[in-house]
Amino acid sequence: MSRPGRDDAPDRLYTVTGGRSRSGPDSPFDLVTLVVAESDPRPGMQSEHVAILRMTERPTAVVEVAAELRLPVSITKILLSDLLAAGRVSARHPYTAAVPRPDLLEQVLVGLRNL
């Protein structure tokens, strides 16, 4: 399997983000933030945005979006930030805490035992 991004000409990565190379330190997206489309694609939208809106009809993690688009995670986060700012997707961020809640860990254990 070819690696996303690696085999692309650099100008593709430049073009999809309008020249931006990273989403900045205040990017709200974690690798496992679940993204959900809030609108249908519109004619004339950038093809990557269309692809994201189609694949996030059901909750889809940032890392899954990146893998499907074959783009690096940082580039994917820029595209997602644009869609979030435009209200076209919503983001379900992980419940991060310095120490995971015991009840959450118990839910994880139950889920794993049921595999």
Partner 1 sequence: MDSVISDARTPLGASADNGLKIVVVGGFGVGKTTLVRSVSEIRPLNTEETMTRAGEAVDDISEVSGKTATTVAFDFGRITLDARNVLYLFGAPGQERFWFLWDRLFSGTLGAVVLVDTRRIDDSWYAIDRLEHHGTPFIVACNDFGGPAFAPEDVREALDLDPHVPLIDCDARSRASSKQVLITLVQHIKDQYAGKDQYPGQADQAALPRQEFA
Binding site for partner 1 (CB under 8 A): 1, 3-6, 21-22, 25, 30-34, 55, 57-61, 63-64, 66-68, 72-74, 92, 94-96, 98-100, 102, 104-115
Q: Considering the complex, what minimum distance in angstroms separates the CB of residue 43 from partner 1?
A: 24
Residue 35 or 83 having the CB closest to partner 1: 35
Name the residue nearer to partner 1 (CB basis): 50 or 67.
Answer: 67
Tell me the C-alpha distance between 85 and 78, whole Å: 11
